[in-house]
Chain A
């Protein structure tokens, strides 16, 4: 055979053996002039995962290995009576969210990996409880995904409320890509919706489907670690980790299938592909996808007056590239992306506090506040 043929054949094999990926539609840029800096507010927290603000302005912060920290007047206090947490792989004590009417009812919602159940291993649980002094009391487990697994992946965890006080939470597919996400009779790889007392809303999409998990609100998800309410529309926005490429932002709609792993803009970590298609009828397209992956965690809409130039922007933490991503949206289309505070560390969470400031949870560091440059 002539050498040229072998080269052509070699090139052909090289091309088909590695899946081709289409990069994100908008590139992330480094800002030319950033008028903000970060200030360390709460120091020395190894993996701050969830945070929320009490009416007195103090903070509740979860640390992945199982600590719930109350930060008030510069002092950290450990809350006692936190449920036992299954710390393995990506699981542990995860998100925390106050009820929208917290001042009246005192309910606090947390997500954590739990061993409750028959099999060995663990899976994601949602609990509500109240604070009494420094103790977590009146604990009620509202949901526990089954079965347990010793796998380390994809616990999901994020909690949010809609305008009608339904609680939504995410549970990832627990490393069972081909079993869980597309099957509504199984837990994991889903966004769930419950009433605030844990009961199933009568208008949940699968209440009349045989054997379905009635708490499911949407399915076909991989590992959602961002879940928020759009303050302008009341809609629930989600983002999730893809594998190698294919992280997504989605607007969560009732009963919809978000496609994982049938459609995806991602490929296997090894570079091989698991699906050839990125679109399919009956499956939702993401509002935006990231190729390459940024490993998104935490998300916030900015609507405060502290950041006039960032109004209605979306902020997303990047674990992988260690920055805060600012996404500018026009008619639900991403038109601009910026990498803020590059090299700051693994940004696990971002929230807008009641004071209008943005707070970041950064691994190996703690909680930081974004303030104007002096």
Chain B
């Protein structure tokens, strides 16, 4: 029982450290992501992620972003065209591939999914972005 308890404590402690590290990594990534955002995204999606009604979909409180982690990464990495629905409104536009490297895609994903009322504690990593291919 004692052994079990100590294992449990170590596990929890270890998880705590990992979590703290992840939080720190996420914070740093979000900071870098903010710069990418103001360089590549702000023109269309606007400073507060509100988009432009019927033209550029919002990122703030976006159900699309929340429900489609992989699709969102793919869109940033390879571009997106065709009909999508965001918060009940249809958008049929075209986003060109931005030429961002995988780490930059991860950073900007962490920024937009943790801002303007969005929350995502599971950090998007460079490795995760690297795995995502052009076609589903």
Contacts and interface: CB of A to CB of B under 8 A. Distances in A.
Contacts, number: 55
B98 A47 contact: no
Contacts of A46: 79, 81, 94, 96
A46 B97 CA distance: 10
Interface stretch (A75-83, A86-94, A232-240): A86-94
Nearest to B82: A364
Interface residues of A, number: 24
Nearest to B81: A364
B39 A152 contact: yes
A179 to B, nearest CB: 15
Given A320-B52, A320-B55, A346 B93 contact: yes
Interface stretch (B7-15, B42-50, B57-65): B42-50
Contact of A87 (B39, B81, B94, B97): B97
Contacts of B82: 364
Interface in A222-258: none
A346 B94 contact: yes
B97 A269 contact: no
A321 interface: yes
Nearest to B98: A89
B98 A88 contact: yes
Q: Is the contact region of chain B dominated by helix, strand, or loop, or is it mixed? A: mixed
Residue in A89, A92, A345 whose Cβ sees the most chain B Cβ within 10 Å: A89
What bracket does the count of chain B residues touching chain A fall in? 20 to 34
Contacts of A320: 44, 52, 55
Contacts of B94: 46-47, 345-346, 363-364
Nearest to A346: B94
Contacts of A321: 55
Given A153-B39, A320-B52, A88 B96 contact: no
A198 interface: no
Contacts of B97: 65, 87
A364 B39 contact: no
A-B residue pairs, 9 tightest by C-beta: A88-B99, A364-B94, A363-B94, A364-B81, A152-B40, A270-B47, A87-B99, A152-B39, A269-B47
Interface of B: 39-40, 42-44, 46-47, 52, 55, 79, 81-82, 92-94, 96-100
